[in-house]
Amino acid sequence: MTSFLSEREQKISQEFEKHGYIIKNISDLKSLQKIRTIFINSIKKNIKNISKFKNEEDILNFIHKKIKSNKLNNFRMKIINEVNKTKELRKLYYEISRNYLDALIGNELSMQLRINLSIQLPNDNSSLLPLHSDVWSGDSPYEIVAWLPLVNCYKTKAMYILPPQKYAKLKKIFVSEKNTSSKKIYTKIKKDLKWIEVKYGQVLLFNQCLPHGNIINKEKETRWSLNCRFKGVFSPYKDKKIGEFFEPISLRKVSQLAINYKLPKIR
């Protein structure tokens, strides 16, 4: 296949294909700080005596000292609903990943309408995402996930993904076994999974067709991570439709004109 991609774009594409993801340093740290401050301000509205923490990093890493697991989901939903009312949040999120999204998808993009938030307290089993692939539950294989940590994520405080080279093994499991479960599959491919370390100041873009998930956070800090899906405006949609789940954010003028163009009527 002929490719006129730049050397930089080809390198990013090859890295993504080989690993199933890329992790890149964020050049616009001011935008990243704005994003984290939006969340910090929301936390301060919903939790008392938060000023006792030294800094923003400690507020996030040690929020489990202020909230119990049985209150976590209500707290998380309050934060999600509040921050998604901030008009600049999605634009900041897009700009942080823009160079890499353009290289992997193109520059006419649809973006998820709401930013998702994951909070995983230490030793809490209420916020687990078992092994899964997003396309198994109705997402389009044309989507990509931009995963942004608000704290350093490492070991069990992070997430895992099945490398592309091991995907054939998974397909054999599906063919050879009936009524298999996510738990059984995880046990069989556990040794093949890749744990991804992503530091604050970096962004992870991963192929959500590949199985991924997390386990109980055994570290002493709470995980805070954001995720949002992007796809080409004109690429196929599945259960999550444009206008309902996605919104075009970088439609070019020729495409806008073409969408609105109507052939003249001939008598």
CATH, residue 40: 2.60.120.620
Predicted pLDDT at 263: 92
Return the DSSP state at 244.
T
Range of the domain at 167: 7-237
Evaluate whether residue 40 is within a structural domain: yes
Residue 208's region, left for phi above 0, alpha for psi from -120 to 50, else beta, is alpha
The structural domain count of the chain equals 1
Q: What is the pLDDT of residue 171?
A: 83
Each residue of 53-109: pLDDT tens digit?
889 999 999 999 999 999 999 999 999 999 999 999 999 999 999 999 999 999 999
User: For the segment 157-197, what is each residue's pLDDT rounded down to a tens digit?
Assistant: 999 999 999 988 888 887 777 767 888 888 889 999 999 99
Q: What are the pLDDT digits (tens) for 198-219? A: 999 999 999 999 999 999 999 9
Residue 245 domain-assigned (yes or no): no
Q: What is the pTM of this model?
A: 0.93
Is the pLDDT at 224 greater than 80? The verdict is yes
Q: What is the pLDDT of residue 179?
A: 64
